[in-house]
Amino acid sequence: MGDSDLANLFARDIVLLRQIGSNPVVVHGGGPQIGEMLDRLKVKSDFVDGLRVTNEKSIEIVEMVLSGTINKQIVSSLNTSGGIAVGLSGKDGNLIVCEKLQRTKREPDSNIERILDLGLVGEPKNINTHVLDNFKQSDITPVIAPIGISPKGETLNVNADTAAGAIASALNARRLLILTDVAGVLDSNGDLITHLSVSDVKKLLKRGTIHGGMIPKVKTCLKAIDSGVKGAVIIDGRVPHALLLELFTEHGAGTLIEPD
């Protein structure tokens, strides 16, 4: 989404999907833009296992960038491409109700597990599908910023892939499509794997073939499939019209993961 030309092509593809009878729901992130704004405002930010530790000061900036700047940019792009889009965050209509996410870390010397405090970071526990069902009956495409709400009313930062997976699961979606900046899941030689079963993914994870930032993405896909999503795809968003290539061509544009 950092490339304006690709972002405009993405918007046209989403509009086309809506016009042919599909019901796309767009969930976006914004890590680089958040990092840039935090640096500009001299707010320190740390990461634990790829998740941004979020305090009360930084959550305001996270929400401003995601729900304000990026969300409205995508909405505007969809609208100018001939569609009708409405921007939401997970706080609207209690769309994404979360619990605070906790992670544990085992100390290598003592073998003692300790709880890591990630601050205002959320794990989706309930998706209010009623909000999105209303869009399904119309010609409006929802664009969702991954900002959640706790039962106590706290604003929580949610990983975008996690939010997308939770929403896809709750909607019993036919496809979860995760756009990223790599070709997809790669084998040990660095070549793209175009199709995997759930069992295949688990084997590759165990061998360490899937590593780094790809691990949370495939785990999100596995969790979504386990919850009823028919298939999940990790797509190279740098490829023009990657969405259409994946959905309407035999070779696709990334790695398709399906149930066994």
The predicted-structure confidence for 116-174, as pLDDT tens digits, reads as follows 667 888 999 999 999 898 888 888 999 999 999 999 999 999 999 999 999 999 999 99
The predicted-structure confidence for 204-224, as pLDDT tens digits, reads as follows 999 999 988 888 899 999 999
Statement to judge: residues 167 and 214 lie in one domain:
no
Q: Which pLDDT belongs to residue 175? A: 95
Q: Which pLDDT belongs to residue 58? A: 87
Q: Which pLDDT belongs to residue 104? A: 62
Statement to judge: residues 154 and 192 lie in one domain:
no
Statement to judge: residues 81 and 207 lie in one domain:
no
The predicted-structure confidence for 51-91, as pLDDT tens digits, reads as follows 677 778 889 999 999 999 999 999 999 999 999 999 999 99
**Amino acid letter for position 256:** L
Statement to judge: residues 182 and 157 lie in one domain:
no
Cα distances from 82 to residues 17, 68, 140, in angstroms, run 12, 22, 11
Statement to judge: residues 125 and 208 lie in one domain:
no
Phi first, then psi, for residue 112 (nearest 5°) are: -95, 135
Q: Domain span at residue 28?
A: 1-171
Statement to judge: residues 161 and 189 lie in one domain:
no
Q: Whose CA is closest to 128, among 158, 170, 68?
A: 170
Q: Which pLDDT belongs to residue 142? A: 97
The predicted-structure confidence for 87-110, as pLDDT tens digits, reads as follows 999 999 999 999 988 766 655 565
Statement to judge: residues 42 and 109 lie in one domain:
yes
Record the tokens describing residue 207, joined without a space.
């061998």
- Cα–Cα distance for residue pair 184/235, rounded to 1 Å: 6
Domain boundary among 123, 147, 171: 171
Residue 6 has pLDDT above 70, yes or no: yes
Q: Which pLDDT belongs to residue 77? A: 95
Domain boundary among 153, 171, 189: 171
The predicted-structure confidence for 22-54, as pLDDT tens digits, reads as follows 999 999 998 888 888 988 888 877 776 666 777
Residue 112 has pLDDT above 70, yes or no: no
The predicted-structure confidence for 234-259, as pLDDT tens digits, reads as follows 999 999 999 999 999 888 889 999 99
Record the tokens describing residue 18, joined without a space.
């809506």
Cα distances from 189 to residues 32, 74, 138, 161, 209, in angstroms, run 29, 36, 46, 26, 9
Statement to judge: residues 71 and 144 lie in one domain:
yes
Statement to judge: residues 73 and 18 lie in one domain:
yes
- Cα–Cα distance for residue pair 251/260, rounded to 1 Å: 20
Record the tokens describing residue 48, joined without a space.
């634990």
Q: How many structural domains are present in the chain?
A: 2
Statement to judge: residues 19 and 77 lie in one domain:
yes
Q: Which pLDDT belongs to residue 57? A: 86
Domain boundary among 138, 171, 204: 171
Q: In this structure, what CATH number is given to the domain that contains residue 72?
A: 3.40.1160.10
Statement to judge: residues 137 and 39 lie in one domain:
yes
Residue 113 has pLDDT above 90, yes or no: no
Count, in order, helices (H) and strands (E) of the chain: 9, 13
- Bridge pairing between strands 140-145 and 84-89: parallel
Statement to judge: residues 132 and 188 lie in one domain:
no
Strand, coil or helix: 153: coil
- DSSP H helices, the chain, are 4-19, 31-40, 56-63, 71-80, 129-136, 160-171, 198-207, 214-226, 242-248
Q: Which pLDDT belongs to residue 109? A: 63
Strand, coil or helix: 258: strand
Q: Which pLDDT belongs to residue 1? A: 64
Q: Which pLDDT belongs to residue 213? A: 82
Phi first, then psi, for residue 222 (nearest 5°) are: -60, -45
